[in-house]
Homo-oligomer: A and B are copies of this chain.
Amino acid sequence: MKKGIVFVLSGPAGSGKSTVRERLMQKGRNFHYSVSDTTRKIRGAEKDGVDYRFITKKEFEDGIAAGNYYEYAQYTGEYYGTPVSQLTPYIEKGVNVILEIEVVGAMQVKKRDKNAVLVMLLPPSYAVLEKRLRDRGTESEEKILKRLARSREELQYFDEYDYFLLNEDGKIDECVRQLEMIAEAESNKTKNNPDFPNEFFK
């Protein structure tokens, strides 16, 4: 049976990755969105079990010890991780899984699954990224500078990703369409269809 493919979507704050992922999910394609666990506090309109599963540090560390995480990482003192249960059962059933995770976790996924597809979402330039972060108008200068510094670190992983996608202002539909094309192309990879030659001669 044909397995599902793991798609990792990463990108700096301000790249629009949540919006792109939500639009992709709305299209009702063969995707499961993997809900991560985190120990950080719930924010604004976030819903427990939808955006993240919000758990305690103790619960997260017990999960690590039990081998329940496919990948995990720590940022600013909080844990973020993908439970195996959000990934493996779907892949086995032939459903693609999309993870919206940071670069450190993405590298763990890449190591565990050679067929995982890593996509980095980016604004057209650093200048645009900075403008987007400032235009939000909700964050302190200190936080904006931290996010910008972090984006520089993230770009260092560019070569480790398979694809990059530009999310230009006002062109989010085009960006989602390109992500769909990547998914469709990947499903035509020979390595994702190892049984085909046998079926061909049946």
Contacts and interface: CB of A to CB of B under 8 A. Distances in A.
A200 to B, nearest CB: 6
Contact of A122 (B162, B164, B165, B200): B200
Interface string A158-202: 110111110000000000001001101110111101101101111
Contacts of A126: 200-201
A201 B148 CA distance: 11
Contacts of A159: 190-191, 194
Given A178-B188, A188-B178, A201-B126, A196 B163 contact: no
B202 A190 contact: no
Nearest to A202: B125
Given A178-B184, A182-B185, A185-B163, A155 B190 contact: no
A133 interface: no
A20 interface: no
A120 interface: yes
A64 B141 CA distance: 64
Given A155-B197, A184-B178, A189 B162 contact: yes
A194 B161 CA distance: 12
B188 A155 contact: no
Interface of A: 120, 122, 125-126, 152, 155-156, 158-159, 161-165, 178, 181-182, 184-186, 188-191, 193-194, 196-197, 199-202
